Amino acid sequence: MNLELLQAYGPRMLSGLVTTLELVFISAGIGALMALPLALARNSRSRLLSVPAKCYILFFRGTPLLAQLFLIYYGAGQMRGPLDAFHVWWFFRDAFFCALFAFTINTTAYQAEILRAALGSLPRGQTEAAASLGLGSWVTLVRVLLPQAMILALRPLGNELILSLKASAIASIVTVPELMQATKLAFARSFEFQVYIWAAVIYFLMVEVVRRVWILFERRLTRHLVRAAV
Residue type, 25: F
With respect to another protein, which residue has the nearer C-beta, 59 or 90?
Answer: 59
Residues making up the chain, counted from first to last: 230
Residues that bind another protein (CB under 8 A): 58-59, 62-68, 70-71, 74-75, 77-79, 162, 165-170, 172-173, 180, 183-184, 187, 193, 196-197, 199-200, 203-204, 207-208
With respect to another protein, which residue has the nearer C-beta, 19 or 172?
Answer: 172
Query: What per-residue string of b and e applies to 156-171 under the rule 16 or more CB within 10 Å gives b?
Result: bbbebbbebbebbbbb
220 within 8 A of 150, measured Cβ to Cβ:
no
Q: What is the 8-class DSSP label of residue 122?
A: S
CB 56, min distance to another protein, A: 12
Which phi and psi angles does 165 have, rounded to 5°? -60, -45
CB 216, min distance to another protein, A: 19
User: In whole angstroms, what is the distance from residue 127 CA to residue 59 CA?
Assistant: 30
With respect to another protein, which residue has the nearer C-beta, 36 or 176?
Answer: 176
With respect to another protein, which residue has the nearer C-beta, 104 or 140?
Answer: 104
CB 166, min distance to another protein, A: 4
CB 145, min distance to another protein, A: 26
